[in-house]
């Protein structure tokens, strides 16, 4: 079975619309059968892969995101962000970035973040006569923070595939995530001044304190989750359990946006989403094991050695490949297809896997905003009712900012590594 045949089969399956988990699973299955490896070995490999403590965190974080999207947490965070933004031009856009940063520190999902913030903010921004492209572009771009600010589901999945420390990956995303938010805020302030966007009402101290008290239950969730992980009191999977339980309690009993009889429905929704993610992960792990056993990864290592490839050259190639893949595949597919191929070369070139994980996630953020398959583009089109070209026009400045962030994170590793190396010397 030649590599060329498998590559052609891979492209054909993708082009005819076969789901990514089937594409990866079929490739792995064909490879294992051709090599004469008993399929019972594949079943045993699945059992070994699924017996993973970090993997246990996936369904719990998904359930937490499901309840936070519907449970009133969004409104509390937006009100808090409004009190921080104050009386400034374009304050609603500033609120979007600040509230999204808070929400991302609880959620871990870009789709949930974009949907929650878009539903809450776009109608208000439209009412205040913000330009449509600017409104949807800001919400869509800010939504990508959901996969960079910890906890992050893509970083969790990357940690499983690369066998890297999930807590360190979460820490590595903090500074790039805050830097991304800062870049967005600088652009928003400039745009607001240039286009004379509306000024929102100012908040007095009493109102600010009242808003803060109401937002406190939402803010305590990431404090409990991340504080538990980095204090060593809980594992990542236990912290995910705390996040899910806290989100349910806050949504049902404090903000009262979710009725008791809705809890089973939302739990079912979260479990269904989890099942999809787990199947995709297992297919990707099987694909990764086949790549290793077939000698393809070894061939890539030999090619890298013989070509004299430098680490910075490989990082440029990796970014270009992921940017192109991100235009045509949904974000998790880019991670699951490319990372198993890249891992042996990363080890050969002594590229830090924590650093590379953040590079991968920033590329995934760009994939969410780049046509023709950018998921956030279609989410914002649905929420806002605006034409797709209006949504794309609004996200373009943020795509440029994300490309700038990708460049500096790629070539200045300490932006990602300083925090995990400081706390995990």
Of 171, 187, 172, 181, which is closest to residue 412 (Cα–Cα)? 172
Q: Which of 26, 24, 57, 291 is nearest to 160 (CA)?
A: 57
**Looking at residue 424, what is its pLDDT?**
82
**115 Cβ neighbours under 8 A, 6+ residues apart:** 69, 143, 379, 383
Domain ranges of the chain: 19-28+49-423
Q: Are 162 and 345 spatial neighbours (Cβ–Cβ below 8 Å)?
A: no
- Encoding tokens for residue 46? 């699945």
- Two tokens at 164? 């890297």
* Mean pLDDT by groups of 10 residues along the chain of 425 residues: 67 74 76 72 68 74 78 74 74 85 74 75 83 90 87 86 90 94 94 84 66 79 82 83 87 86 87 76 71 68 79 92 80 79 88 95 89 76 83 92 96 95 84
> Taking phi first (over 0 means left), then psi (-120 to 50 degrees means alpha), and beta for anything else, what does residue 370 get?
beta
Picking from 215, 181, 246, the residue whose alpha carbon sits closest to that of residue 74 is: 215
C-alpha 231/C-alpha 141 separation (Å) is 32
* Token representation of residue 207: 């109102």
Using CA atoms, how far apart are residues 273 and 50, in angstroms rounded to an integer? 17
Task: Locate 134 and state its tokens.
Answer: 């600017």
Q: Is 361 exposed, middle or buried (0-12, 13-18, 19+ CB in 10 A)?
A: buried
Q: What is the pLDDT of residue 395?
A: 92
What is the predicted pLDDT for the residue at 160?
84
- DSSP-assigned letter for residue 309: -
In the prediction, which pLDDT does 408 show? 96
- In the numeric block, the tokens 């974009």 are attached to 114
Partners of 282 in the beta sheet?
none
Sign of the four-CA dihedral 108, 110, 115, 118: positive
CA distances from 199 to 89, 135, 402, 412 (A): 4, 15, 27, 38
Nearest to 109 by CA among 255, 269, 315, 227: 269
Quote the CA–CA distance of 333 and 21 in Å, as a whole number: 9
Distance CA 383, CA 196 (A): 25
pLDDT at 53: 67
Q: What are phi and psi of 89, to 5 degrees?
A: -65, 135
- Distance, in Å, from the CA atom of 159 to the CA atom of 184, rounded to the nearest integer, reads 28
Residue that has been written with the tokens 């539903």 in this structure: 119
Residues 307 and 317: their CA atoms lie apart, in Å, by: 13
Q: How far apart are CA 425 and CA 352, in angstroms?
A: 15
pLDDT at 143: 85
Cα 198-201-207 angle, rounded to 5 deg: 155
Query: How many residues are given for the chain?
Result: 425
């Amino acid at each position: 079975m030649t590599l060329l045949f498998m590559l052609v089969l891979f492209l054909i399956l993708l082009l005819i619309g076969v789901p990514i988990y089937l594409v990866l699973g079929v490739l792995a299955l064909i490879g294992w059968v051709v090599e004469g490896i008993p399929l019972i070995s594949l079943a045993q490999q699945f059992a070994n892969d699924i017996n993973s403590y970090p993997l246990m965190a996936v369904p719990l974080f998904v359930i937490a995101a499901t309840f936070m999207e519907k449970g009133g947490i969004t409104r509390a965070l937006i009100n808090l962000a409004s009190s921080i933004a104050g009386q400034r031009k374009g304050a609603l856009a500033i609120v979007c970035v600040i509230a999204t940063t808070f929400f991302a520190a609880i959620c871990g999902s870009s789709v949930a973040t974009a949907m929650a913030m878009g539903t809450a903010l776009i109608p208000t921004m439209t009412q205040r006569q913000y330009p449509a492209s600017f409104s949807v572009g800001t919400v869509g771009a800010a939504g990508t923070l959901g996969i960079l600010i910890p906890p992050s589901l893509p970083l969790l999945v990357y940690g499983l595939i690369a066998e890297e420390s999930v807590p360190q990956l979460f820490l590595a995303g903090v500074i790039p995530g805050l830097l991304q938010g800062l870049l967005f805020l600088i652009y928003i302030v400039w745009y607001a001044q240039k286009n004379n966007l509306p000024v929102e009402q100012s908040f007095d101290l009493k109102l600010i304190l009242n808003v803060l008290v109401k937002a406190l239950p939402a803010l305590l969730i990431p404090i409990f989750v991340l504080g538990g992980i980095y204090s060593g009191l809980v594992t990542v999977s236990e912290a995910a359990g705390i996040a899910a339980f806290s989100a349910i309690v806050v949504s049902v009993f404090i903000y009262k946006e979710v009725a008791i009889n809705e809890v089973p429905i939302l739990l079912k929704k979260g479990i269904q989403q989890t099942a999809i993610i787990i199947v995709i992960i297992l297919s990707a792990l099987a694909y990764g094991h086949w790549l290793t056993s077939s000698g393809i990864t070894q061939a890539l290592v030999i090619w890298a050695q013989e070509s004299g490839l430098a680490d910075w050259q490989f990082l440029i190639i990796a970014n270009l490949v992921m940017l192109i893949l991100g235009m045509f595949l949904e974000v998790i597919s880019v991670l699951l297809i490319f990372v198993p191929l890249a891992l042996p070369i990363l080890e050969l070139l002594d590229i830090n896997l924590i650093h590379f994980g953040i590079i991968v996630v920033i590329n995934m953020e760009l994939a969410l905003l780049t046509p023709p398959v950018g998921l956030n583009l279609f989410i914002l089109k649905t929420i806002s009712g605006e034409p797709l070209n209006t949504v794309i026009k609004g996200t373009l400045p943020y795509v440029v900012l994300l490309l700038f962030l990708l460049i500096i994170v790629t070539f200045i590793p300490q932006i990602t590594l300083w925090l995990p190396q400081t706390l995990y010397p």
